[in-house]
Amino acid sequence: MKVSTENLGGCQAVLTIEAEASELDKSLNEAYHHLVNEVSIPGFRKGKAPRAILMQHVGKKSLLGEAFEHLIPQLYKQAIESQELEPIARPEIEIIQTEPLVFKARVSLKPEVKLGDYHSIKLKPAPAVKIARKEIAAAMEEFRARQGTWVPVERPVELGDLVTIDVEANVDGKPWLNHKGVSYEVDKNSSSPVPGFASHLQGAEKNKEVTFSLTIPGDYPIKELRDKESYFKVTVSEIKGKQLPELDDEFARSAGYENLANMKKKVAADLRAQAEASNRSELRQKALDALVEISEVDYPLILEDEEIMGLLRDESQRLGFTELAEYLKRSNKTEEELKQELRPIAKKRLIRSLVLEKLAEEEEIEISSSEVDNKVSEIANSAEDKEQAAQFFSLPQVRQSIEQSLRTQKTMDRLLQIAIGNGEVTTKEE
């Protein structure tokens, strides 16, 4: 076998591989022995026809194809080992000629990351968190609202009410909504059935029809309705307002606290912890951005394409599509248009990931089995079905994903510790 390598840049190379005559002949002989036992040839028992007769019967092209199916992978493997290459995906194979066999293998190679001097990155620690009284009051009101109960009221509809409605809607004279007795929470930020619908119910009286029109957004899931005027008829048959509990010791005890003062202290502590975690996350991102800025990253385009496909799958699942193909069909854009939109995001995510992985190698950051076990227990114990959760998290691929997540967190914490430089930031799971 003869091999020559051309470096294309971008972590890609092309190997030109030529088989020796003896290698090809050996492979042809193996192909002959395989085919002669599979093919029935008149005048010969199975497995007894000479090679020349078999070739006449099946054609030389078929025999060569059978030989190449086994020979090409063997020669490719030998070639990458001899050239000391680290492919990360299957090669693109192009056969240049058959006798002698010459083929090209386009190879995507392991990314190359050269970190900048990350010890020179300096950030100021976040200032001490102060929680204002109004923030505590707002959190208490939010908690109180969650504990409220719906009670019938005799007044016009207000934002925040829960109403029962009959609704009809048409576009271009054709109905597209016709529901009766529907429960609907009048939230001004709701986009159901279309943005602005809830606001038009404000002031509606029970058993009196309300009519209005709204323009359906251009990104509405139903293509046929996009950017069209829809006319609505709505009748409210029941109005309920939310009755909130009093903020007193009894309310606090019902929520699991000793008294109202104790509850407020715990709410303040939770708000402080959330703010500190947010500040820490922001600092970690700043440190990572600074490291990316001073580092050099080279990778094959296939990794960017894989990242884009991952983003597309995530988005389709977020919108409730079980199949990516269905999401692409309903998006009103071509697959290529969506990929081009996502490419900058994919590129940024990929570079960050590669830089962090290199930093983890440099700093020799590892995650022990006990750390994975602790995280698994933490997640499983918070699940409703703990037994089912434990089975799920025992899967090797799930544990590997958790291990990678913990390693990323620990790596970012280590970078932040270096950037702040005073040792006050400790590594912990968040």
Residue ranges per structural domain of the chain: 2-110, 149-243, 366-430
What pLDDT score was predicted for residue 426?
38
List phi, psi (to 5°) of 316.
-65, -40
Strand partners, 5: 15
**How many CB atoms are closer than 10 A to CB 283?**
20
- Which helix or strand (DSSP H or E) is residue 130 part of? none
What pLDDT score was predicted for residue 141?
92
Q: Is 118:418 a contact under the CB 8 Å cutoff?
A: yes
Q: Is 14:106 a contact under the CB 8 Å cutoff?
A: yes
Q: What is the pLDDT along the chain (430 residues), one digit of tens a residue?
A: 899 999 998 899 999 999 988 888 788 777 766 776 667 677 676 666 776 776 666 666 777 777 888 899 999 999 999 999 999 999 999 999 888 899 999 999 999 999 999 999 999 988 888 999 999 999 999 999 889 999 999 999 999 999 999 999 999 999 999 999 999 999 999 999 999 999 999 999 999 999 999 999 988 888 889 999 999 999 999 999 999 999 999 999 998 999 999 999 999 999 999 999 999 999 999 999 999 999 999 999 999 999 999 999 888 888 788 888 888 777 777 888 888 999 999 999 999 999 999 999 999 999 999 999 999 888 888 887 888 888 888 899 999 999 999 999 999 999 999 999 754 433 333 3
Which CATH code, of 3.40.50.300, 3.90.650.10, 3.30.70.1050, 1.10.10.60, is assigned to 2-110? 3.30.70.1050
What pLDDT score was predicted for residue 43?
64
What pLDDT score was predicted for residue 265?
95
Peptide bond into 100 cis (omega under 30): yes
Confirm or reject CATH 3.30.830.10 for domain 149-243, answering yes or no.
no
The reply to whether 149-243 shares the fold of 2-110 is: no
pTM of the entire predicted model: 0.71
Q: List CB contacts of 385: < 8 A, sequence separation 6 or more.
A: none
